[in-house]
Structure 1
Amino acid sequence: MSANSSANGSIAGGAGKPTRTDMLAHMGSIQQAAYVRPIEYQEGRAHGLRAIEVKNGPLRFMSMADRALDVAQIEYRGENLTFLSKPGLNGRNQFDTNGLEAQRSIMGGLFFTCGFENICAPYVTPEGSDYPAGSYPMHGRIRTTPAEHVCSDAHWNENGDYVLELSGEMREAELFGENMVLRRRITSVYGTPSITVEDEVTNESFRNEPLMWMYHCNFGWPLLNDGAQVIIPSRKATPRDETTAADTTPWSEIGAPEANKPESVYLHDLAADANGRSFAAVVNRALGLGVVIDFAAKDFPYFMEWKSMGSGDYVVGLEPSNSSVHGRGWHEKRGDLHMIAPQTSERKTVTFTVIEGSEAIDAIIARRDALLA
């Protein structure tokens, strides 16, 4: 690395984000360093899938316009950070919202959005229920909903930042049923290895509707590898089931893949700081990288960890949610299924940040320890 560059990609002067003058002086086109670019895949299950590629210096990610603008791929300095499931990238499929067959279209990625009528296991409303009859696939339907009014832009703002952004609208709706609209805005600022997702869900129907809402964040090799760690300010971790309870490996430790090892799922009680903020992270000291998810704890009263160490299904999922992994039926029986009133909206923001180097990893561990002190 030259004397006129720094770890965060700035050009002149060494520290901090580069100025507009610096960038324009060093480049013919700013797209050498940063851009937002609509693309379309041309083969396999992904044929015809519209996406938006974003490059922010060493950070590069893909937002899937035909799948709720979820971010399905992310790299930092050429290293993959997330999990891509066996089917790979998928466009719209005939099996994407049918019960457990939904697993054939779950791609993984930095996150996919779960909801809004259901999250987790498939569910059929029982006869005599207080809620309209329905059959709800695993993790719901919003994740397979194509975006409309898709916009993308790259521009200088009034603070001198070069902002990369995209936005769109997804509608989960049924004749005589729900009419839920998700408006999403994703931004990243050049020189800062972060992605911020700002979401608003509006109930445009004329009845109360369930609003189950989870971000299924998925981390894979090489970030996830033997010796990696899951960093969560967890006051208590409760196993979801007997299989998880029988897993003798600590929830925070990552080992090597094991053939046919069953998944483990934990429900965490998170600590938050004085401002109500909490986080979760996966770090790998050998690789020198980590990814941190930041959010307001009040927005996500439930937080789950999905730990799959099976060969070929080697992934850790971190899942901030407004509902439990036990699913819709569990909430219905308890009488606390989260509802949204007609013509009202709810908003959530989640930020993903790549951290680099031993000092940054030490700092995120210290942040956890401070919250648990």
Structure 2
Amino acid sequence: MKRSDMLAHVGSMQQAAYVRPIEYQEGRTHGLKAVEVKNGPLRFMSMADKALDVALFEYRGENLTFLSKPGLNGRNQFDTNGQEALRSIMGGLFFTCGFENICGPYTTPEGSRYPAGDYPMHGRIRTTPAEHVSSDAYWDGDDYVLEVSGEMREAELFGENMVLRRRIRSVYGRPSITVEDEVANESFREEPLMWMYHCNFGWPLLAEGAQVVIPSRGATPRDETTAADTTPWNEIGAPEANKPESVYIHELAADADGGSFAGIVNRELGLGVVIDFNVADFPHFMEWKSMGSGDYVVGLEPSNSKVYGRGWHEERGNLHTLAAQSCERKTVTFTVLDGAEAIDALLARRDALLA
């Protein structure tokens, strides 16, 4: 709809779309600052106190993401305390992992060429509060743009000085959000830069009969537990009490420009979500499949590092690093698929990449 037509139909654009800073008031969320964004039937929450990561993500009132047992959390003592991170990891549409470490906790061994350090599960950036937070809603021609931005600093005296500058953008009438990130190394030494988006999907999108859609040329089990899981990696069954998690490392097909994707679709619900990214930015991709009752979630994880963590890369001499006074940029887009035709188009896109 053109700008003039839209304005003719509403008194305020907030009837249809808005960007609204909020603060939670109770329980573990007390004091948690966030930005609520409504784009027609799409609504999401960017957490200003947690790296501007997106927690809530819903469409036409249906939740599309996973929220772990602790629920929404403000900043707390579990945030960066080794394995205790499991008490603060909430899930949500995505949380940012890195930058000194991803996956399990890690302590630099004696004799390493890297500085000594203790690195918590999935790193520290996901719990870093944003500064210079800005939220805006404005017309750009006939596009009504909804935008959130800010920066997060992961730094230590005598240590790293990494700055994440993030912009999240959505356009009214389009059921998608685009995350544009830049990480700058503002220190004067080379720094490790492990970088993963942990994208988490839950009920009711994730339900028996749902399907994981990935243009995968091959899926390698992370461990013996995963190898013993006889359920195909792309099929979703009902929750099972105490069923262990499975993790797969995928080799993705991509188009001529490096574009690839991963998604979840539910034909019965008539909805899906697809994540678009470039394999040059994310040469590694993991699928976390947890079908355990109460921990019922599928994580889709574009990454520049493997799921085995920092120590694995250090041992092989291929830990990704960022030169002093330089930066890297990455972009991911999340799009809601509405209806059978959109779901069919995603499957056809997968098949075309694998042909």
Unaligned runs of 5+ in 1: 1-17
> Among residues 105, 110, 116, which one is paired with 1:127 in the alignment?
110
- Structure 2 residue corresponding to 1:107, chosen from 90, 94, 104: 90
**Alignment partners' CA distance in 1, 2:190 and 2:353:** 37
Q: Does 1:236 align with 2:218?
A: yes
Q: Letter of the 2:278 partner, please give it.
A: A
Separation in 2 of the partners of 1:30 and 1:279? 32
Q: How many residues align?
A: 355
Give the letter for the 1:334 counterpart. Answer: R
* AA aligned opposite 1:25: A
**Percent of counterpart pairs with the same letter?**
84
Distance 1:323 1:297 in 2: 12
Q: Which residue of 2 aligns with 1:306?
A: 288
Amino acid corresponding to residue 53 of structure 2 in structure 1: D
Alignment of 1:22-171 (within 5 A): 22-158=5-141, 160-171=142-153
1:1-373 paired onto structure 2 within 5 Å: 18-158=1-141, 160-373=142-355
CA-to-aligned-CA distance 1:23-82 (integer Å, 9 cap, x gap): 111111110000000000000000000000000000000000000000011110000000
Take 1:36 and 1:357, find their aligned partners in 2: how far apart are those partners? 27
Distance 2:90 2:27 in 1: 14
- How far, CA to CA, are the matches of 1:92 and 1:173 in structure 2? 17
Aligned counterparts of 1:60 and 1:348: Cα–Cα separation in 2? 23
Look up the SS of the partner of 1:23 in the other structure. Answer: helix
Corresponding letter in the other structure for 2:241: A
Runs of 4+ off more than 3 Å:
none
Q: Offset at 1:329?
A: 0.3
Aligned equivalents of 1:107, 1:285: Cα separation in 2 = 26
Provide the rounded CA distance (Å) in 1 between the counterparts of 2:66 and 2:221: 23
Deviation per residue, 1:176-202 (Å, 9 max, x gap): 110000000000000000000000000
The CA distance in 2 between the partners of 1:98 and 1:276, in whole Å, is 37
Quote the Cα distance in structure 2 between the aligned partners of 1:339 and 1:357. Answer: 42
The SS at the match of 1:299 is: coil
What's the RMSD between the two structures over aligned residues? Answer: 0.5
Counterpart for residue 8 of structure 1: none
Shift of 1:94: 1.1
- In structure 2, what residue type is equivalent to 1:153? D
Separation in structure 1 between the aligned mates of residue 154 and residue 75 of structure 2, nearest angstrom: 15
TM-score, normalising length from structure 2? Answer: 1.00
Does the residue aligned with 2:280 lie in a helix, a strand or coil? helix
**Match for 1:97: what amino acid?**
T
Which shifted more, 22-31 or 345-354?
22-31
Instruction: State how far apart, in whole Å, the 2-side matches of 1:125 and 1:265 are.
Output: 25
